Amino acid sequence: MELQLQHLSKHYGTKYAVHDVSTTLSPGVYGLLGANGAGKTTLMRMLCGVLAPTFGRICLDGQSIEKLGEDYYAHLGYMPQDFGFYPDFTAREFMRYMAAVKGLDKKEVKDRTEELLKLVNLHHVADKKIKFFSGGMKQRLGIAQAELNSPDILILDEPTAGLDPKERVRFRNLISDFAKEKIVILSTHIVSDVSYIADTILMMKDGTFLLQEPMAAVTDCIRGKVWELLVSDREAAEYSSRFSVVNLHHENGKVRLRMIHETIPAADAITVQPSLEDLFLYYFGEEAGTERSESGYVSKI
Amino acid sequence: MLVKYEFLKILRKKSTRIVMAVSLLVTAFLFGLPILQFQTYHQEGVIKGFEGINYEKEQTAKYAVSLTDTYITEAIREVQQLFDNPDYVGYDGHERFLIENAYWDNIAPKEALLGMIAKNFANPNESVGYNSLPELDISEGVNFYRARQEKIEKLLNASSNGMSEKQKTYWQNMNSKVDEPFQYGYYKGWEVIISSFELLTFALFAVCIVIAPVFSGEYQAGTDAVILSAKYGKTKLTTAKIIASYLFGVLAFTLHVIIALGLPLAAFGFEGWDLPLQIANTTIPYPLTFLQAALIQLSVVYLVLSALIGLTLLLSAKMKSPYLVLTVLAPVLFIPLFLSPNGTTGVYNLTLFLLPYRATVPELGNYISYQFGGIVFDAFTMRAILYAVLTMIMLPIARIGFKKHQVSA
């Protein structure tokens, strides 16, 4: 199975949210990274057929998704960012409703609903109205509904946003379980989430793909550009103003700095293994400042 | 399955329950008002409420007769004889009237009947009562039905009506089907119903309020992305939403209709259902009984409901919020309430009579007709066709609107 994006663009007047994106996706987990406004959500909406591209087209195994219609949607599971629920429905009713919209057989609906509610640990509150659910419970229900039809293409837009660390780990594991033999596109600005489960990283900036690399090789381009250095408090402030400091850690009265720089920033700086977070910050710089705080880093960029 | 869930979505909302409760109370109040305010008179004074209703029913029952020319001539003669006795006659400077026992014993019980007879012999648009009967020449008996026919001819030929020959022929043909002689009797319940249909406008609006979020509520809540990307989101779900909306609309409106018709009929009685409309106004051209007229008008109102549901769904599919839907619907429904017709012809009047609020008024005696080439339609038929066509036009547009909806921030 292949999902082909052919010169995909979405323009709003003279501005564009997605511009001339082309790629072919085969089964695997794709981590879609980008700062806010990079075009991730717009791209995902187009992939889900709920937003028409201005130019270009999306094909599943060579056939336009527009022409495939129901046949395409039958392959699709989508969990949008901040999507609403029906507050007066119970979790079980919502799942059964979504199962009906997804065209599941009547016999299948009950078993699949119970199975997924159990999997996302909501079975004990299945008859509780959604309006009484916490954010985390809603997120879990969101992924459960996306998985109802056992989709071949699973699109998850910021699925871990607003979850506490424990829930995020649980969520990552869930996604890994669902991901087998599927095309999973996972958008997030919490870089650590994708670093655990993604096979391929798609990095978006200004509506285009900046980078499309397998996870194992994605940080190669900044190898030798990430440095660590142990300095005094006073020196730390000085380095922070001069370099891109991605982490700052106090150790026995000293400060360990992690920096990204093309050349060695100080004689005693040592190169370290680059991480996905480093790569993200390398590309997005100040744009990513707000996101980084969620990942636990101290931003000085 | 989908219809069931869509229906549940509508029903479970707190706003649905509040709007329906308020609307049912308003309908009960509006249709209960003629009962609460009913009063009639006898020699001792005013009798109100159910006592008054029963009294009037008893009095009118005595005059449940066939209105033959002989009966009418005799009824007029009795009135004329009373007026011949100066002891029975009062004068207020403008007109003569009967007083005391002469009035209470002979006129009061059948004043509506005598008024109807008097009006039949008067000129169109002339307001007269029983006290105009002494002016009639009954030396050779009266021909009530010929007088009716002549009055209708005057109405049709009045220059202010501006009717074409085709339209006149249409009404004359319809009139020729009215059975004679008329059977008279008590029909108060039906009179209240037929004259109060427009009060159902509030129920129509209440239904629109409840179904306004059917599509736009999904956009507003952010559930559109999930359902539109599901297999049947753009196909069967849209149909289910439309069916559920109609199911809810028809059931909710029927509940209002039961109250609207039930209250007057329970209080005033079912009697009169088989009597001809003409005993309320002799120039009514429709050859219908009160029940038939009420049912036909009710059918038209249901078609108005159908088109309004269609319009609401169309707007709902196209607009981002249910509130925006209502800002369009409220003027469509209620602006005509403040517009008055100034005749029965001309584009302004003919358009006004077709607007939703006006379409709930039967306009039984107003000779409103629409001509397209050689074909003429009365108001009932024209409204029925218009609202059926509008429904058929608006539903596919609503479907496409939802199908083509773009999920954007």
Query: Is A167 an interface residue toward B (CB < 8 Å)?
Result: no
Pick the range with the lowest mean pLDDT from A288-297, B21-30, B77-86, B252-261: A288-297
Among B16, B220, B226, most A C-beta atoms within 10 A, so best to mutate, is: B226
Chain B environment of A73 (Cβ under 8 Å): 229-234
Q: Would you place residue B115 in the very low, low, confident or very high pLDDT band (cuts 50, 70, 90)? A: very high
Q: Least CA distance to A54: which residue of chain B? A: B406
- Checking ipTM against 0.90, whether it exceeds it is no
How high is the pLDDT of residue A152? 93
Query: Is A98 an interface residue toward B (CB < 8 Å)?
Result: yes
How high is the pLDDT of residue A296? 34
Task: Please compute Rg for chain B using Cα positions.
Answer: 26
Binding-face residues of A in 42-61 toward B, CB within 8 A = 45, 48-52
Cis link prior to A53 (omega < 30° from 0)?
A: no
Indicate if the pLDDT at residue B322 is higher than 60: yes
Q: What distance in Å separates the CA atoms of residue A288 and residue A191, rounded to the nearest whole number? A: 11
Mean pLDDT of B287-315: 97
Among A65, A90, A101, A131, most B C-beta atoms within 10 A, so best to mutate, is: A101
Indicate if the pLDDT at residue B214 is higher than 90: yes
B229 vs A49: CB contact, 8 Å cut-off?
A: yes
Residues of B engaging A, defined by a Cβ cutoff of 8 Å: 1-2, 5, 8-9, 12-14, 221-237, 405-409
How high is the pLDDT of residue B409? 59
Among B17, B18, B220, B229, most A C-beta atoms within 10 A, so best to mutate, is: B229
Indicate if the pLDDT at residue A6 is higher than 90: yes
B5 vs A96: CB contact, 8 Å cut-off?
A: yes
How high is the pLDDT of residue A103? 93
How high is the pLDDT of residue A295? 37
- H helices present in B197-345, as ranges: 201-211, 213-221, 224-228, 236-268, 290-318, 322-334
A98 vs B237: CB contact, 8 Å cut-off?
A: no
Percentage of the residues of chain B whose pLDDT score is greater than 70: 100
Residues 6 or more apart whose CB falls under 8 angstroms from that of B284 comprise: B277, B278, B364, B365
From the list A79, A35, A18, A25, the residue with the least C-alpha distance to A191 is A35
Q: What distance in Å separates the CA atoms of residue A124 and residue A217, rounded to the nearest whole number? A: 43
How high is the pLDDT of residue A35? 83
> Across all residues in chain A, what is the average pLDDT?
86
Give domain A3-217's CATH number out of 3.40.50.300, 1.10.3720.10, 1.20.1250.20, 3.90.1150.10. 3.40.50.300
A78 vs B225: CB contact, 8 Å cut-off?
A: yes
A48 vs B224: CB contact, 8 Å cut-off?
A: no
How high is the pLDDT of residue A287? 61
Indicate if the pLDDT at residue A257 is higher than 70: yes
Q: Compute CA distances B395 → A114, A254, B182, whole Å.
A: 36, 72, 44
DSSP assignment of A230-261, as one string? Answer: EE-HHHHHHHHHHSEEEEEEEETTEEEEEEE-
- Closest Cα in chain B, distance from residue A145 (Å): 9
Predicted confidence (pLDDT) per residue in A149-177, tens digit: 999 999 999 888 767 788 788 888 888 88
Nearest to B9 among A79, A86, A96 (CB): A86
Nearest to B222 among A45, A84, A98 (CB): A84
Indicate if the pLDDT at residue A183 is higher than 60: yes
> Beta strands B89-91 and B45-48: pairing type?
unpaired
Q: Would you place residue A288 in the very low, low, confident or very high pLDDT band (cuts 50, 70, 90)? A: low
Predicted confidence (pLDDT) per residue in B129-175, tens digit: 988 898 888 888 889 999 999 999 999 988 777 888 999 999 999 99
How high is the pLDDT of residue A286? 60
> Across all residues in chain B, what is the average pLDDT?
92
Query: Is A88 an interface residue toward B (CB < 8 Å)?
Result: yes
Chain B environment of A80 (Cβ under 8 Å): 222, 225-226, 407
Domain boundaries, chain A: 3-217, 220-294
Residue with more model confidence, B228 or A192: B228
Nearest to A97 among B5, B14, B225 (CB): B5
This prediction has a pTM of: 0.88
- Closest Cα in chain B, distance from residue A119 (Å): 20
How high is the pLDDT of residue A160? 81
Mean pLDDT of B212-216: 96
Residues 6 or more apart whose CB falls under 8 angstroms from that of B88 comprise: B82, B98, B99, B100, B101, B102, B103
Q: What is the largest CA-CA distance in chain B?
A: 88
B406 vs A149: CB contact, 8 Å cut-off?
A: no
Residue with more model confidence, B384 or A281: B384
- Closest Cα in chain A, distance from residue B9 (Å): 8
How many other β-carbons are positioned within 10 Å of the β-carbon of residue A6? 16
Q: Compute CA distances A167 → A138, A141, B312, whole Å.
A: 12, 13, 42
How high is the pLDDT of residue B387? 97
How high is the pLDDT of residue A83? 76
Sign of the C-alpha dihedral computed for residues B131, B132, B138 and B139 taken in this order? positive
A85 vs B230: CB contact, 8 Å cut-off?
A: no
Q: Would you place residue B271 in the very low, low, confident or very high pLDDT band (cuts 50, 70, 90)? A: very high
SS3 A60: strand
Q: Compute CA distances B126 → B123, B157, B342, whole Å.
A: 5, 16, 17
The length of chain A in residues reads 301
Indicate if the pLDDT at residue B232 is higher than 50: yes
Q: Would you place residue A81 in the very low, low, confident or very high pLDDT band (cuts 50, 70, 90)? A: confident
How high is the pLDDT of residue B34? 92
A86 vs B226: CB contact, 8 Å cut-off?
A: no
Nearest to B2 among A50, A51, A100 (CB): A100
From the list A18, A40, A34, A38, the residue with the least C-alpha distance to A281 is A34
| Cβ contacts from A onto B, under 8 A | 93
Query: Is A41 an interface residue toward B (CB < 8 Å)?
Result: yes
Residue with more model confidence, B346 or B384: B384
Residue with more model confidence, B199 or A275: B199
Nearest to A50 among B5, B228, B231 (CB): B228
Q: Least CA distance to B403: which residue of chain A? A: A50
Q: What angle do CA A180, A150, A59 make, to 5 degrees?
A: 85
